[in-house]
Homo-oligomer: A and B are copies of this chain.
């Protein structure tokens, strides 16, 4: 069965809806923690559920290299392999080609991309058809079209050529796609050029996908440019399909994305910063290594997560100072819960027709004080 999206309510352009998948239904807008290598780093599926996380993302490129899609297929698919029974979205590998392969060692052709493994340097060749084959075998609930993530800045000529090729790749991928229990999203590219975003969105929609992603943001552009990229793409997307803004997870950007009508987000941010002792709080980000927490026997925040219910800042600081891995684990739980709870609060605000008030209130607290400099 393919996914079904139901738009329940708008507040301005912000949308409250739900997505029905073969592995459960979740409300949108929603944030997806990233489980790069078939696990959200250091955490178990039970911990994700306790944080009310409802859907995760896993990376096709990484699973292709380790353990290989055939091992996952033999295990019975990604859900069984990693012991996770909720919905899983896989990306296409396009972003990893952009972010991990060195430019000099990358050759983008009409057929696909030649590049080198970030692990052992061996030559790799990824095509739209191969990306679909890998994702079909991984058997995620939602797969992504294979695309080129356009660097920022890029010339108009390059962006146009790349966007047109990504469209041809989307068509080839859709034709090669072969898993009736899996849904496929198209990806809007176009770089920073409004007319290319329009072209990419309209033509991708014409191909007909189960949902639409906005790609090529968070690649070095400034915030106003990122938000314009969203605006330039999203207005051409159908209201009856989910919209997914790829690789975005900063609290401020989640608010801006939801305001513009985005339904889904993913980012390594909450778990990556956790491993470096950073925690989201409603009064901004803090670093738990800071000496001022040495004897701070209060929780990180007014938060209902496992970490805040049981541990103090002083203890978590101690774990980081002593290089104990439990520190990163506890902060990963907290940071994921923080973003998931933000999405819950945004959904409530949309239902109550007060999304913009919520956004203002949140930002006033979040940006209004520098906790670490107090």
Residue ranges of A at the interface with B (Cβ–Cβ < 8 Å): 37-39, 41-44, 62, 66-67, 71, 74-76, 81-83, 294-295, 297, 310-312, 314-315, 317-319, 321-322, 324-326, 328-329
Contacts and interface: CB of A to CB of B under 8 A. Distances in A.
B326 A75 contact: no
A312 B43 contact: no
Contacts of A66: 318, 321-322
Given A71-B294, A294-B71, A83 B311 contact: yes
Given A314-B75, A321-B67, A41 B326 contact: yes
A298 to B, nearest CB: 11
8 closest Cβ pairs, A-B complex: A67-B318, A37-B322, A83-B310, A66-B322, A42-B325, A39-B326, A75-B297, A74-B295
A333 to B, nearest CB: 10
Given A71-B318, A75-B312, 11 more contacts: A37-B324, A39-B319, A42-B42, A62-B322, A66-B318, A66-B321, A66-B322, A71-B295, A74-B295, A81-B312, A81-B314
B74 A325 contact: no
Contacts of A42: 42, 324-326, 329
B75 A315 contact: yes
Given A67-B294, A74-B297, A294-B67, A83 B315 contact: yes
A39 B321 CA distance: 13
Q: In the complex, which of the residues A42, A44, A81, A318 has the most CB atoms of chain B within 10 Å of its own CB atom?
A: A318
20 contacts: A37-B324, A38-B315, A41-B326, A42-B42, A66-B321, A67-B294, A67-B318, A67-B322, A71-B295, A71-B314, A71-B318, A74-B295, A74-B297, A75-B297, A75-B312, A75-B314, A76-B297, A82-B315, A83-B310, A83-B315
